[in-house]
Chains A and B, each alone.
Chain A
Amino acid sequence: QSVLTQPPSVSGAPGQRVTISCTGSSSNIGAGYAVHWYQQLPGAMPKLLIYGDSIRPSGVPDRFSGSKSGTSASLAITGLQAQDEADYYCQSYDSSLNGPFFGTGTKVTVL
C-alpha cells in the first residue's frame, strides 16, 4: 500500500516546465515530515534528486526543485530535456505506519 499519491504520468516538450505532485496526509507530510524525491532511469537504480523538501545533493542540476505545503509536495523540472525521461518517486515518513514510504511514482515523458 502507498500513503503518498502521485499522478501516473506527466509529459512536456523539450524546454518546458513540468511539475509532479505528491499528496499525503496528516500522518506524514502534514505532520511536518520531510519529503524526498528520486529519479529512476529505465533499468537503473533510483537516484536521490531532492532531500529535506528542497535540498539538491551535489551534482543535481538546478533545473530540479522541490517544495512542500500542507499535506502535499511538488517536484518541478524546468528546461525539460530528453534525458529527464524517467520515473520519479516521492518519499517521506509516516507516523501511523512507523516507517518510510514511497509515493506511487510518476512517469515523465518528453514529447
Chain B
Amino acid sequence: QVQLQESGPGLVKPSQTLSLSCTVSGVSLSSGSYYWSWIRQPAGKGLEWIGRIYTIGSTSTGTTNYNPSLKGRVTISADTSKNQFSLKLSSVTAADTAVYFCARDIASRSNWFDPWGQGTLVTVSS
C-alpha cells in the first residue's frame, strides 16, 4: 500500500523560501514507475498543480515539469536514499499560503493523482 507524508515548517516569512519534503512508503522512488507531484490548495479555494518529478535509479534531480504560472520559483528534487522528494518555492508571498499536498502521479496521456498525502498547512507571514 503506497502512502505519502508531507513534512516541513508551517510558517515561512515573506520573500523567503518554502521547503517541504514528502516521504513515500510502499514503493521505491527510484523504480521509475511513477511521477511524483506537489499540489496546493489555499483555504476555501481549489486545487493547483505545482509540479512533478520522475526519477529512475539513484539520482536527485530526475525529470521535472512545473506549472508555468510558478516556473522560476519552483524546484522539485528527490533523495532516493530516503525515498523522499522535496519542494522548494522561493520568494514567497501571502498568496502562497496554502495546504500543500504530495501525491503519486500516474502518468499517461492525461495523468492522475493517487494516493495523496494528508497535506500540510504552510502560512506565509512575518
Q: Contacts of A44 on B, CB cut-off 8 Å?
A: 118
Decide if A48 touches B112 in the complex (CB within 8 Å). yes
Decide if B110 touches A99 in the complex (CB within 8 Å). no
Q: Contacts of B119 on A, CB cut-off 8 Å?
A: 45
Decide if B47 touches A99 in the complex (CB within 8 Å). no
Decide if B111 touches A100 in the complex (CB within 8 Å). yes
**Residue B69 at the chain A interface, CB threshold 8 Å:** yes
A48 to chain B, nearest CB (A): 4
Residue in A44, A102, A104 whose Cβ sees the most chain B Cβ within 10 Å: A102
Interface residues on B, range: 20 to 34
Separation of A105 and B41 alpha carbons in the complex (Å): 12
Please name the residue on chain B nearest to A101 by beta carbon.
B49
Decide if A34 touches B116 in the complex (CB within 8 Å). no
Separation of A93 and B111 alpha carbons in the complex (Å): 7
Decide if B46 touches A99 in the complex (CB within 8 Å). no
Interface residues of A in 14-61 (CB under 8 A from B): 32-36, 38, 44-48, 51-52, 57
Decide if A89 touches B116 in the complex (CB within 8 Å). no
**Residue A92 at the chain B interface, CB threshold 8 Å:** yes
Decide if B114 touches A48 in the complex (CB within 8 Å). yes
**Residue A98 at the chain B interface, CB threshold 8 Å:** yes
B118 to chain A, nearest CB (A): 5
Q: Contacts of B66 on A, CB cut-off 8 Å?
A: 99
Decide if A93 touches B114 in the complex (CB within 8 Å). no
Decide if B116 touches A97 in the complex (CB within 8 Å). no
